[in-house]
Amino acid sequence: MDFADARKRMVDGQLRPNRVTDPRLLDAMRDLPREEFLPRAVRARAYADEDVPLPGGRALIQPMAIARLVQLAAVRPGDRALVVCAGTGYGAAVLARCGARVTALESAEPLLAIAGTALAACLPAGAVRLEAAPPAAGFAAGAPYDAILIEGEVPEIPAAIAAQLAEGGRLVAVLGAGRRNGVATLARRLGGTVTTTPAFDCATVALPEFAAAPGFVF
Check if the beta carbon of residue 51 is closer than 8 Å to that of residue 183.
Answer: no
Instruction: Report pLDDT digits (tens) over 82-93.
Output: 999 999 999 999
What is the average pLDDT value for the chain, to the nearest integer?
A: 95
Domain boundaries, the chain: 3-209
Query: What pTM did the predictor assign?
Result: 0.95
Q: What letter represents residue 184's amino acid?
A: A
Q: Is residue 117 pLDDT above 70, yes or no?
A: yes
**Distance in angstroms (rounded) separating the CA atoms of residues 90 and 35:** 10
Beta-carbon count within 10 A of 145 CB = 26
Q: Which CATH number fits domain 3-209: 3.90.950.20, 3.40.50.150, 3.40.710.10, 2.70.70.10?
A: 3.40.50.150
Of the two residues 211 and 57, the one the predictor is more confident about is 57
